[in-house]
Homo-oligomer: A and B are copies of this chain.
Amino acid sequence: MLAQLPLQNTTVALRRAAAEDVPSIVDLLAADQLGATRDGVTTDEDLQPYLNAFGLIDADPAHLLLVAPDGAQVLATMQLSFLPGLARRGALRAQIEAVRVRHDYRSRGLGAALFEWAIEEAHRRNCALVQLTTDKSRADAHRFYERLGFVASHEGLKLKLLR
């Protein structure tokens, strides 16, 4: 357990994801408006690439895949990565990817509590900044990030590769 995240009238545990959480995390990814066409598991064969990716994430201390569990289910997930670089006097930067909160836990402070923990962890690891990109179609997300102090100073560019 990494923390107890405060919500109204309750708390939610936060811990590193385990392999057993992967199907539930993928369900959250697939429930997303943009992820629906990209992610999902219906067979064991579908699960394997996700488990392989989990193995890479879990083996590298630079990555922290977080879950807020509720029994065998996952209420929220986030990947937090700590990336070295030369710029800004050799600063470590914390990068946030793949944030999802289950629909019935939105607007209840869980997302904000998760980000607050992530930002504190970035401080503890002496990062110079926290960065993320968010799809321009997610207007609600932009307001959420701006309330947390993020500045939309950059364009986020993506080049999809055909495989």
Q: Give A residues with C-beta under 8 Å from B.
A: 22, 25-26, 29, 35, 38-39, 49-54, 56-57, 60, 62-63, 65, 79, 81, 83-92, 95, 97-98, 119, 122-123, 126-136, 142, 145, 148-161, 163
Contacts and interface: CB of A to CB of B under 8 A. Distances in A.
A31 to B, nearest CB: 13
Contact of A134 (B49, B130, B148, B154): B154
* A56, A132, A154 pick with most chain B CB within 10 angstroms: A154
A90 B156 contact: no
A161 B25 contact: no
Main secondary structure of the interface of A (DSSP, over half): mixed
A59 to B, nearest CB: 9
A148 B160 CA distance: 11
Given A39-B87, A39-B88, A89-B50, A131 B156 contact: yes
A88 B29 CA distance: 9
A44 to B, nearest CB: 14
A160 B128 CA distance: 6
A136 B155 contact: yes
B159 A152 contact: no
B53 A84 contact: yes
Nearest to A53: B90
Nearest to A151: B158
